[in-house]
Amino acid sequence: FKDGQFPCRWVPDMGYRYGYPQFEYYGPLPYYLMTASRFVGLSLFSAMKLGFVLPLILGNLAMFLLASSLFGPWGGLLSAAAYAYAPYRASDLYSRGAMGETWAFVFLPLILFTLLRLFKKPNLKTAALLGLAYGGLLATHNISTLIFSPLVGLLALILLRREKEKKTVVKYGLVAVIWAVLIAGSFFLPLIFEKGYAHTESLIQGYFNYLAHFVTVKQLFFTTFWGYGSSEIGPTDDLSFFIGPVHLLLFLVAIILTLYRFFRRRLDQTTLVVLAAIIFTLLSLFMTHQKSTFLWQMLPLAYLQFPWRFLVTANFFLALSAGYLFYKLTFTKILPLAVVFTGLLFLTNVSFFRPRSWFDLTIWEKFSGYSWDRQLTISIFDYLPIYAKFPPALAAPLLPYGVKTKISILDFTHGSDNFRFTTKSLINDVLILPQFDFPGWQVKLDGKKVVHRHNNDLGLIALDLPAGEHRLEAALKKTPVRLFGDLTTLIFAPLALYTLISKNHNDKK
């Protein structure tokens, strides 16, 4: 941000300091929010903690908003409690440290809430709200978007069959989807159209092959094993995937109540939504099991990597259906049940929401020595620029260098996505910049743009350097796709916010 790189796409220290297009492909929104907190004085560690605490609070509030709109406040409370104390969310937080997925739990209930609102009030304001919610998910977590979008789309089609004003709902629904893509355009459009510029094949090979990470029935339903490790090949994972006994009990009750009302022909919209939620929960759980292999082979799902990622939607829809217990019950019946089930959810799951251990670690210790080297090389195969044949084995040199002879480097400045320096060479040489090449990198020699190449094993920026003293500048520029995406976000995100607060767009259809 301070270096003027916005939107942030290039991370200079990643890839063993050769630089990586990390946020070209990895959802940046949570990191923007954490960075914003740094500007108001939070320390780096505090900003990171806020990045995990805030989605827990906001996600639970969003679930309460959704469920209370369907079942009333007590049903909303029960669904929010089931959502808050889902064991998988504790795994995301304390075992995996999955920032993007943790934030995805905020947007799932917001999207469904605004979708249901769109059916009640199909207007531009509701479309703007749905666009913002869905755009937030697009800019936060690719995999949760891929899993959730077909399900929420199918629910929309189911609800549309009962809708009288189909054309109006479809019109504003399409506006919302287009709006979401344009709001997230600065990230989503380059992700789609520039995917081929990185070695994304490494994301589905070896350890990341989905066939190695299916979950067993025992791991889902018949254990409360808690681990702080990782997903391993076979059923010996040191990571927890179970649903939780109280959650399962509430889910079974929701199934019984829904079937009862279904066979009694009392299928109102709320019951229909819960019926869909139950089916989606069962489908999501099935997709985590090896029996679903044929679907993984038929559908383009390999980039989801881990079948247990479907626990995101499984836990979301299960928690939503839990609130159905209080639908159309009187207050005198609700109160004791609310106390019992909310208390049970808390008592049986709160112990999972704690760290394995605490570290008395300073920022200087984190960013030095082995810890710092690990940060520079972690996930080094992910998003490696396509011009590199393989990842680097050693850290990048601090300065550019010549192929034939030693070159003097003066006044060297290395920004987050740019270089500036003066060179002195006695002979014509080839200058190598310690920087992965990637579409958009532009090199200027003495103020004039020159052609560079990347014909070396690591795909580093290389150019012909004449003898003598020269001023060189290199910077990552916007490609047409990035520029267009940035413009769509710059225009349509404020436009959506303006539509929400404007009095011109009232609640009339």
Tokens standing for residue 176: 């919302």
* Contact (Cβ atoms closer than 8 angstroms) between residue 472 and residue 431: yes
| Residue showing tokens 């995937």 | 241
Q: For the residues 13-42, what does the mean pLDDT come to?
A: 93
CA 201/CA 177 separation, integer angstroms? 29
Cβ pair 465, 90 in contact under 8 A: no
Binned at pLDDT 50, 70 and 90, residue 506 comes out as: low
Longest dimension (CA), the chain: 91
In the prediction, which pLDDT does 504 show?
67
- Structure tokens of 498? 């303006």
Read off the pLDDT of each residue in 160-175 and give the average, rounded to a whole number.
90
Rounded Cα distance between 15 and 396, Å, is 9
Average pLDDT over residues 393-417: 92
pLDDT for 100: 94
Quick one: pLDDT at residue 200? 80
pLDDT confidence tier of residue 508, bands split at 50, 70 and 90: very low
What is the DSSP pairing of strand 468-476 with strand 418-425?
antiparallel
Distance of alpha carbon 418 from alpha carbon 504, whole angstroms: 45
Q: Is the pLDDT of residue 74 over 90?
A: yes
Average pLDDT in the chain:
92
Please tell me what DSSP assigns to residue 367. T
Across 320-326, average pLDDT: 94
Beta bridge partners of 292: none
- The mean-pLDDT minimum among 10-19, 25-34, 356-365, 460-469 falls in 356-365
> What is the CB neighbour count within 10 angstroms for residue 193?
15
Measured CA distances, 315 to 239, 244, 341, 343, 356 (Å)? 16, 10, 17, 19, 23
pLDDT digit string (tens) for 344-394?
999 999 999 998 888 888 888 888 888 888 888 888 888 899 999 989 999
Residue 509 clears pLDDT 70, i.e. is over it: no
Mean pLDDT computed over 119-148: 95
Residue 404 clears pLDDT 80, i.e. is over it:
yes
pLDDT in tens, 214-233: 999 999 999 888 988 888 87
- pTM of the predicted model as reported, rounded to 2 decimal places: 0.92
Q: Whose CA is closest to 48, among 395, 379, 375?
A: 375
- Helix H or strand E encompassing 445: strand 441-445
Share of the chain above pLDDT 70, in %: 99
